Amino acid sequence: MLNRHARGFFTALFTPIARWLLKMGVSPDAITIVGTAGVVVGALVFYPLGQLFWGTVFITAFIFSDVIDGIMARMQNLGGRWGNFLDSSLDRLADGALFAGLAIWFFTGGADAPIAIAAVVCLVLGMVVSYVRAKAESLGFTANVGIAERAERLVSVLVITGLTGAGLPPVVLLATLVLLAAASLVTVVQRVLAVRVQSLEDSEQT
């Protein structure tokens, strides 16, 4: 998937920044929190005002904190459960704010109910995608499969939203959200089936 293929490139790109931040005494947790706050502000302030282009620019400036904090944690050998928990929890908050901001605008000033509804559906299914994996792992299963991981969802929504704010016909954003919702649903099914297969294998072994 995109996040795995691009990891090496972005790690090389942001490693000097991560190293500099550590020298300045900044912690990985601080970057995680600031990055999430920036995304939330961009999504819930700019988007509801109809500033889709500038909102996307603002969000993009903070979205890479998710890469930088991981690099910093690895440099300090702090890639433990706390950092993973904090990062995953705040990712859900950022994702929810992104789709909520779109829904608010298109339910109000944007006056496009289909796009607003599609954004809400993406919000819900995105949370279910993450929950299914987390629940599976808490029970000892693995569910890291699927065609719609977080990186794909973020890139597709941010790019098309920004272009919509720059003049792209809104129908393209609608199509993107519908496809994303469908991909998220397929991912949920894939993960449920993966866990089901593992549970049956466990039953056969006992």
Note the pLDDT tens digit of each residue in 62-76: 988 878 888 888 888
Cα distances from 5 to residues 1, 14, 126, 144, 176, in angstroms, run: 6, 16, 21, 15, 22
**Active site includes 112?**
no
173: helix, coil or strand? helix
Q: Which of 29, 91, 95, 202 is catalytic?
A: 91
Q: What is the tens place of the pLDDT at every residue in 43-55? A: 999 999 999 999 9
pLDDT above 60 (res 18): yes
Average pLDDT over residues 188-195: 95
